[in-house]
Structure 1
Amino acid sequence: MRTRLVLVLLVLGTIALTAFAVPLASTVAESRTRAFVAIRDSDVQRFAVIAEQYVTTGELTGLQLEADSYRAVYGDPVLVVSTRGVENYSAGMEVDGRVEDAIARGLRNERTTDVGRFLPFGSDPVLFVRPVGTGAQVNGAVVIEASTLDARRDILHGWLVIGAGFVLAMTMFVALSLALGRWVLSPLSSLASSMQEFESRLPFRRDDLPSSSGSHRRSVDDSGGPPEIRSLARTFGRLMDSVVGAVDSQERLIAETAHQLRNPLTALQFRIDMLSVDVPARLREDVKIIVAEADRLHVILDELLSYASAQTPVLPGGGVAEDCSVNAVLLDRVDFWSLVVRERGAQIDIGSEPDHETRARIRESDLTQILDVLFDNATKHAGDAVHIVAGVELIAPSNDAADRTQGRVLMTVEDSGIGVDTDALGTLTDPFVSTGHGAGLGLSIVAALARRANGDIEFDRSPLGGLRVRIFVPLSPQSSKSLPARGAEYVGATSPIPDPDPDPDSDTA
């Protein structure tokens, strides 16, 4: 590709420089020819005036002195012809057919001088002729045979300067083309090498992929384009196949791990339940501890598998929608958790106006799992009689030239509980870090699911007094709602906190 790129740039540069140099060289030759003709026309006209006295009276003194001086300076011969019986005067000119034709034109009172543009090569002299006389009276003619060597030498010098400039410009253009080709292609070569090195470290290679992954392969050997680009495309295709294999392997490993661990745990818990029936009274507390630890181990296993699944990359396709209606999922989860929340002595409300046209680029199952974890944490760890507020907010794209971001959807879940210390906010998403009695994987799962959707998560203290969790995810391109000039207002954090509903059968969703 580098050779092709340099050749293309050289051809373009040659065309551009030639288009500039050729007209310039033609202008130089044309200008020098016009200057030559102007000077010689002036000289022959001056001789025609001086020769007027000679062709009528034969007085040679003035004409001979001028002709000798002119020949000494320019080296050009002069011929004066008279029609009044005076002998022709020649200052070094030999009369031949060309000279006779020029004399005939002069005696016919023709004053034109037909001289074409000079070229550097050649030495043919040019004849300049003028009639001697006044008006229609022609008493003779003056002929000057002007040498063109000096004019042609000047043109050659000008062309050599233009040629030197052309060669210098081409040399600079070649150097620039090589540097540009190196600058353009070096990142491609480095990228291809990095991709090949990365592929070599993956546990799966292209040839090791199962047949089910064959649909992801796409040959690019027959595609057009430079060899470097085709090689990079092939490397990228192999890398994608390897990544697909690694993702499939991770998914299979998660499924097999769940199967291999759940069976022994289920059998163990079944045996513990059977033994707890006839256990002596003095051992019942110990059995309760064992049962609780077995249940906790089940919870840890479920959350660990969920965390591993959340960290698995999501590949396009597969028949799963990549976006969802945020408010529809929020309403569904609030309705689901309303009874559980009331049973735990808490209350849950929606702090924003539902808008089913707002869609975010996140899978519905992932968003459901995020909301379930946040609601479950709020009811378990925020304290008694906690008030939970959830809402959705649209964030318009940034118009700042330094930070242009696309539209985003902000989901907020906050509570009026005891909150979390400021120093501990930065570690909430670390695996196995818990502020209560859980496994410490809930918020790690939430963070992994949000980042898998190219989103983000933030924690701070809510105006309600407890913890506020904010989830940012990209707005779906399929969202039919036009973005406002500023984000839609979320009022849940500033609304007054109502007393918990004393009636457990009332609907607070």
Structure 2
Amino acid sequence: MSPSSRSGRTTPERASRSLQRWRGLPVRTRLMSLLVLLTTLTLVVSGGTAYGLQRTAINQRIDDSLERSVEEYRILAQEGVDPATGQPFTEADQLVFVAMQRTMPARNEGMLGFQGGRITWTANDAVELRLENDPELVQWALDNSDRSSTIIESVRTTVTDYRGVLVVVQLSGDDTPAMLLLAYDHDAELDELENTFLTYSLVGLGVVLLVCLIGWVLMGRLLRPLRDLQDTASEISATDLRRRVPVSGSDDVAELASTFNQMLDRVEGAVDSQRQLLDDVGHELRTPITIVQGNLEIQDVTDPEDVAESRDTALDELDRMRRLVDDLVTLAKAGRPDFVDREPTDVQELTRAVVAKASQLGTRVWTMDHAADVVVPLDAQRITQAWLQLASNAVRYSEEGTKVSIGSQVLNGTLRLWVRDQGIGIAPEDQERIFERFGRGANSTRSEGSGLGLNIVTAIVRAHGGTVDVQSAPGVGSTFYLDLPAEGDLDAPDDGQLHPDTAPETLGASSTRGFGPRQDQRDERA
């Protein structure tokens, strides 16, 4: 294999290794390197452009000055007169002398007069640039004495660089031509410009160092949330999800930290739900399993009645386990964004449908207090589930023939749904506990429910951004309220007055249960 082919193969590999090393550097270092590179490139490009423009301007100014001088000599030769005779010039050398007398060289400009292959005239002592002291320049002028036209050229000697014009003067009455040399010390003209840009370079270097210092500090502050995020992520474990990234400001990095914290909230909520589910399953399923196992162990397989009784007990416990699992699955889904699917819903039709369905739950006097004539965005199936759960509780804790009222009302931008019964009521000390998971009132028994009904109701209402409340008195009955945001079509709102058959409590009464992802969950009273 030829060396060139080996080189062609290794160059991409070296580039790849260099890219990997670059990516392996800290973000702060890479950003600072790019910042310094861009700053330096900006200073170099802007400075180089300015230097080039200024240098071009200096060269143009020199050439313009030389061209003006040539034009003045031409006019002098055509129209001028010899001061000594008062007549037009007849001698070329005299014309050069007069022209030099009338010329005031600029700084870094000098002049010489030639005739017959030698220097005949020099500038006065006030002129600093002495062209006669540079033999190479003098020789260049003599070498070009045979030219018939004016030339402007750059001449490099060991002394310096010149930009000069050589004017050949030939008069009709003089057989010996003369020459006039005007030249600028080009290096000296550029010295001031180069000194200026040397200062610019030093200032630019200082600017780059200052950018490095300030940028390093500012970059550290800007990237501090990322370091905090990294530290927080490294300290989070499967058993401790409480750490959060400190958030300050409102920029993109702060938004990233906020998003990360929100993700941790969701993860912690999911883990807590998982732990709660495992605890609940382990706690609640242990009892029916023990009952089934105990009945099967002690049953007399030769006694048909004992076998039938054990079978009925096992089926009853398994059915309760199924309901419990279904309820736990519903609660596990409550934390998901798609738990509810809101759609514009006619609350009046929904109220009538719930009353019709609830009437099948038990022999009670079912009445509809009021039906709100509004359209509100909500999940009709979930709300129906929660509403019927309250109706089921009302049936479970009231006597046959008693009245159970269902209604809906909009007041002050809130949609209130309620179920009121004339049952046994709830003791004041139990009104908080019944909303807890597997919480039951003192007047309920384990066989009457899974203990998750009101907890599911709370989860559904909370997912809609609402609250759940209860008002009850032992021996009188209970009224459960579901208060939901009424953000919908309110073109035909209620009159703001509760129906005469409804409970007298106002919307301001009681509770804020159901708001926020970390509040205690509540369960049914039975």
TM range (shorter): 0.5 to 0.7
Partner of 1:12: 38
Matches of 1:238 and 1:467, distance apart in 2: 34
The amino acid of 2:140's aligned partner reads R
C-alpha distance in structure 2 between counterparts of 1:238 and 1:351, whole Å: 40
* Structure 1 unmatched runs, 5+: 204-232, 269-300, 396-409, 419-423, 474-482, 500-509
- Offset, 1:159: 1.4
SS at match of 2:236: helix
Shift of 1:126: 1.4
Does residue 1:145 correspond to 2:179, yes or no? no
Identical pairs, percent: 13
Structure 1 pair 411–312 and aligned structure 2 pair: CA distance change class (3 A): farther
The residue that corresponds to 2:465 in the other structure is: 455
1:98 aligns with 2:140: yes
Task: Please give the TM-score of this superposition, normalised by the length of structure 1.
Answer: 0.54
Alignment of 1:153-168 (within 5 A): 153-168=191-206
Moved more, 27-36 or 428-437: 428-437
Q: How does 1:70-149 map to 2 (within 5 A)?
A: 70=105, 74=107, 76-81=109-114, 88-91=120-123, 92-93=131-132, 94=135, 96=138, 98-100=140-142, 103-104=145-146, 107-108=148-149, 110=150, 113=152, 123-130=160-167, 132=169, 140-149=178-187
Q: Is the 8 A contact 2:112 2:182 kept in 1?
A: yes
Give the alignment's TM-score, normalised by structure 2: 0.52
Q: 1:47 to 1:454 in 2, by over 3 A?
A: farther
8 Å contact 1:386–1:415 — kept in the other structure?
yes
* Structure 1 residue 471 corresponds to structure 2 residue 484: yes
What is the aligned partner in structure 2 of residue 220 from structure 1?
none
Q: 1: CA distance between counterparts of 2:272 and 2:440? A: 31
Deviation (angstroms), 1:311: 6.3
- C-alpha change, 1:21 and 1:129, in structure 2 (3 Å) is same
Q: Does 1:491 align with 2:494?
A: yes
Query: Equivalents in 1 of 2:145, 2:421: separation in Å?
Result: 121
Which of 407, 419, 424 pairs up with 1:389? Answer: 407
User: Cα distance, 1:413 vs. partner?
Assistant: 0.4
Deviation at 1:259, TM superposition (A): 1.5
1:335 is paired with a residue whose SS is helix
Compared CA separation, residues 26 and 11, structure 1 to 2 (3 A):
same
Partner residue, 1:412: 416
Q: Deviations over 1:365-420 (max 9, x none)?
A: x5454323444577879xx7564323799x9xxxxxxxxxxxxxx763046899xx
Note the C-alpha offset of 1:244.
6.2
Matching residue of 1:504: none
| Alignment map for 1:317-466 (pairs within 5 Å) | 323=341, 327=345, 333-340=354-361, 343-344=364-365, 346-347=367-368, 350-352=371-373, 360=379, 367-375=383-391, 387-390=405-408, 412-414=416-418, 431=436, 445-451=456-462, 453=463, 455-457=465-467
TM-aligned CA distance change 1:429 to 1:44, over 3 Å: farther
TM-fit CA distance, 1:324 = 6.5
Superposed CA RMSD: 6.0
Instruction: Work out whether residues 113 and 180 of structure 2, in 8 Å CA contact, stay in contact via their aligned partners in 1.
Output: yes
Q: Secondary structure at the match of 2:494?
A: coil
Consecutive unaligned residues of structure 2, counting only runs of 5 or more, are 1-26, 84-88, 124-130, 242-258, 295-320, 423-428, 446-450, 472-478, 503-526
The separation in 1 between residues aligned to 2:480 and 2:271, in whole angstroms, is: 40
Q: Residue 90 of structure 2 corresponds to which residue in structure 1?
A: 56
CA contact (8 A) 2:40 2:208 kept: yes
Aligned length: 383
Structure 2 distance, partners of 1:498, 1:3, is 73
Counterpart of 2:303 in structure 1 is: none
